[in-house]
Structure 1
Amino acid sequence: MPEAPAAASADSGPVIQAHIRAARTEFESQVAHARAEFEEANERIKARTGRDLILATLIGVAAGALLLGSLIFVKQLFLVFALAAVLLGVFEFSRALVATGRRIDLIPQLVAGAVVVLSGYFLELWLHWVVVFVAIAVVVVWRLLVQMTARDGRTYGAVLGDALVGGFVQLYVPFLASLCVVLLAQDGGEWWVLAFIAVVVAADTGAYAAGILFGKHPMAPRISPKKTWEGFAGAVLAAVVAGVLLGIFMLGLEWWVGVVIGIVILGTATAGDLGESMIKRDLGIKDMSSWLPGHGGVLDRLDSILPSAAAALALYYLFTPLVAS
């Protein structure tokens, strides 16, 4: 009789192990099922929007953390990120243009772009404008001189087009980005930079979510087939709400000023997005590069921010006196 409990304990061991194995198998099955459903949903979203949801989210969160940290703690560190983004954007754009037969001088473009961005932070505004003019002149004259020495029979129209496109690269990427740096250099400018970028991100997120859930009517099918009016409505709502909240709690402005900021930044962000889509359509490409999985290239992420920087700088000069008064 004393040996019965030991025998029962010995018999219960395999039973417990069988239950554990069964529970583990069931758990693994549930995880696999959930993963399959998530991947299926992700593929549907990717097919509809052209983005990989997981990678796009991870990269967006990482970039946002770096941006937030630099602007809050050491705003000069944001200058480093801005300079790197501009140089990568110029490289992407130049490479895409060269692939279509244009002749772009990469080294002068990169050097001139870096000088333009840095001058926006360290020089007076009027000197910055001089630097921008000189940078454009340098890349244009450089292209003409290189073409003169090449003597390869390139037509006059093609040479003129190369020169004009080279100047456009400087205006589109370094110059617009330098306006963001000019804003950064102002007193409290880091909060304005953070605010306008946050509005751009909110508008993009609102458009993305509303487009997925409700999107049926294309907004500009010949330029960007995946954008819908329902998505634009979501962008309007998100941009206005973000503008009001950021205006009140971050910039110390009246609520109506936040509405103006949200609407203006939404307009420039939408124009920048559609404008880059037109450029890519003319170049015959989907993305400027594949360096940022789920997003495309660096310039694909800057398309809405670049023109919005000009609007944000104008809004800063317009509404900052209201805070002082």
Structure 2
Amino acid sequence: MAQRPEGPDFKAQAQAARADLERQFAETRAQFDQARAQFDQVNERITARTGRNLVFATAIGVGVGAVVLASLIFVSALFMVFAAAAFALAVVELGTALRVAGRDIPRTAGVIAALAMIPASFYLTGDWRWYVTLAGMALVVIWRLVEYAWPGRRGGGDALVRDLAASILVQAYIPLLGSFAVLLAAPQNADGRWWLVAMLIVVVAVDTGAYAAGLNFGRHKMAPTISPGKTWEGFAGAFVAAAAAGILLSIFMLHVPWWFGFIYGGVLLLTATAGDLAESLIKRDIGVKDMSGWLPGHGGVLDRLDSILPSAAAAYALYVIFHPIFF
């Protein structure tokens, strides 16, 4: 049986090998620490400039996006659950924020009306979904009028009118615009869910393109009084990203002519940008930075839906116009 050498040469070799491993481990650890420090510095600069934590924002965005896309691709009815949760939370956020500005918004009635729009858009056809929409708006108006009858909830007549107008605005802004996304995913709209998936991807591309280009090249402010972070260079980056995404999606997902990608990407670029600016204007008027802090790195739910809501209506309009032409 072979004996393990125990001489001084073997011990010296073992010690040298151990020292070499320790040196390599120390160098690797130093390189890792240096890379981490550089990443932290970049993340801190991005956070200081944009007000968002890149790590949290990316993780939350990827996680939520993956779940929503999976529901659309595999079980479209499950998308209603996520849409209902998102719209209900957004209604609560906006209603709460408007209360900071002095508007008395019936949030419970608003959530009920928003939730009713989801199955109405998914299952009902014809004019029935519009009846549900009008009924929801009537509900929030009647709810506020009943509250006004109580002495403790009364105010001036002008304040009541503003409350009613703000309550209707919340319903038109969130559940009505958002219902077009649910309508696209409805069973009666052939290929509609793929147009919805394409819309979400283009909106993400717009946001990413604007973020990257604005962060690296942004010099000229687009709307400094509304959204100081937006630049024309960022808008140009968003245009390139939207056009590229639109063309690729037209060819490989929607199976329509490539040139439609310019139309799809261009329209959604405008609606996504307008939606972002509109929400920024609302927040500026109210005096808040984010609608809430429910999504780390993103702010509130409505801060993520601001570009999607008008884009959903635009995507549905494009579907109604072009889908019969192509198919």
| TM-score, shorter chain, exceeding 0.5 | yes
What is the aligned partner in structure 1 of residue 264 from structure 2?
Answer: 261
What amino acid sits opposite 1:70 in the alignment? S
Alpha-carbon distance between aligned partners in 2 of 1:113 and 1:141, rounded to the nearest angstrom: 15
Alpha-carbon distance between aligned partners in 1 of 2:205 and 2:126, rounded to the nearest angstrom: 30
Q: Cα deviations across residues 37-69 of structure 1 (Å, max 9, x unaligned)?
A: 101001111112222111111111112211221
Alpha-carbon distance between aligned partners in 1 of 2:154 and 2:53, rounded to the nearest angstrom: 45
Normalising by structure 2, we get a TM-score of 0.95
What is the aligned partner in structure 1 of residue 54 from structure 2?
Answer: 53
Question: Greater shift after overlay, 267-276 or 120-129?
Answer: 120-129
What is the aligned partner in structure 1 of residue 314 from structure 2?
Answer: 311
Structure 1 contact 253–322 (Cα < 8 Å) conserved: no
Q: Cα deviations across residues 86-134 of structure 1 (Å, max 9, x unaligned)?
A: 1111111111112222212221111111001221111113110111011
Alpha-carbon distance between aligned partners in 1 of 2:53 and 2:282, rounded to the nearest angstrom: 23
What amino acid sits opposite 2:47 in the alignment? K
Question: How far does residue 298 in structure 1 lie from its aligned partner after superposition?
Answer: 0.8
1:69-80 to 2 correspondences below 5 Å:
69-80=70-81
Question: Greater shift after overlay, 217-226 or 87-96?
Answer: 87-96
**Which structure 1 segments of 5+ residues have no match?**
none
Alpha-carbon distance between aligned partners in 2 of 1:317 and 1:188, rounded to the nearest angstrom: 11
Q: Alignment identity in percent?
A: 50
Question: How far does residue 29 in structure 1 lie from its aligned partner after superposition?
Answer: 1.5
SS of 2:62 mapped into structure 1 = helix
Aligned match of 1:237 in 240, 248, 264? 240
Are 2:39 and 1:43 equivalent residues in the alignment?
no
Question: Greater shift after overlay, 311-320 or 104-113?
Answer: 104-113
What is the aligned partner in structure 1 of residue 91 from structure 2?
Answer: 90
Structure 1 contact 210–230 (Cα < 8 Å) conserved: yes
1:147–1:153 CA distance, 2 compared to 1 (3 A): closer
1:102-113 to 2 correspondences below 5 Å:
102-113=103-114
Alpha-carbon distance between aligned partners in 2 of 1:4 and 1:304, rounded to the nearest angstrom: 72
1:117–1:33 CA distance, 2 compared to 1 (3 A): same
1:207–1:226 CA distance, 2 compared to 1 (3 A): same
Structure 2 contact 148–154 (Cα < 8 Å) conserved: no
**Superposed CA RMSD:** 1.7
Alpha-carbon distance between aligned partners in 2 of 1:51 and 1:151, rounded to the nearest angstrom: 40
What is the aligned partner in structure 2 of residue 214 from structure 1?
Answer: 217
1:152–1:75 CA distance, 2 compared to 1 (3 A): closer
1:1-325 to 2 correspondences below 5 Å:
6-151=7-152, 154-185=155-186, 186-324=189-327
Structure 1 contact 240–262 (Cα < 8 Å) conserved: yes
Structure 1 contact 287–300 (Cα < 8 Å) conserved: yes
Structure 1 contact 109–139 (Cα < 8 Å) conserved: yes
Structure 2 contact 250–258 (Cα < 8 Å) conserved: yes
Structure 1 contact 96–283 (Cα < 8 Å) conserved: yes
Normalising by structure 1, we get a TM-score of 0.95
What amino acid sits opposite 2:101 in the alignment? T
Alpha-carbon distance between aligned partners in 2 of 1:82 and 1:152, rounded to the nearest angstrom: 32
1:256–1:107 CA distance, 2 compared to 1 (3 A): same
Alpha-carbon distance between aligned partners in 2 of 1:153 and 1:320, rounded to the nearest angstrom: 51
SS of 2:127 mapped into structure 1 = helix
Structure 2 contact 86–301 (Cα < 8 Å) conserved: yes
Question: How far does residue 220 in structure 1 lie from its aligned partner after superposition?
Answer: 0.5
Structure 1 contact 240–258 (Cα < 8 Å) conserved: yes
Q: Cα deviations across residues 112-161 of structure 1 (Å, max 9, x unaligned)?
A: 11001221111113110111011101101110111112355511111111
Aligned residues: 323
Question: How far does residue 252 in structure 1 lie from its aligned partner after superposition?
Answer: 1.8
Alpha-carbon distance between aligned partners in 2 of 1:165 and 1:104, rounded to the nearest angstrom: 7
Q: Cα deviations across residues 242-263 of structure 1 (Å, max 9, x unaligned)?
A: 1111112211211222211111
1:87–1:27 CA distance, 2 compared to 1 (3 A): same
Question: Greater shift after overlay, 62-71 or 206-215?
Answer: 62-71
**Which structure 2 segments of 5+ residues have no match?**
none
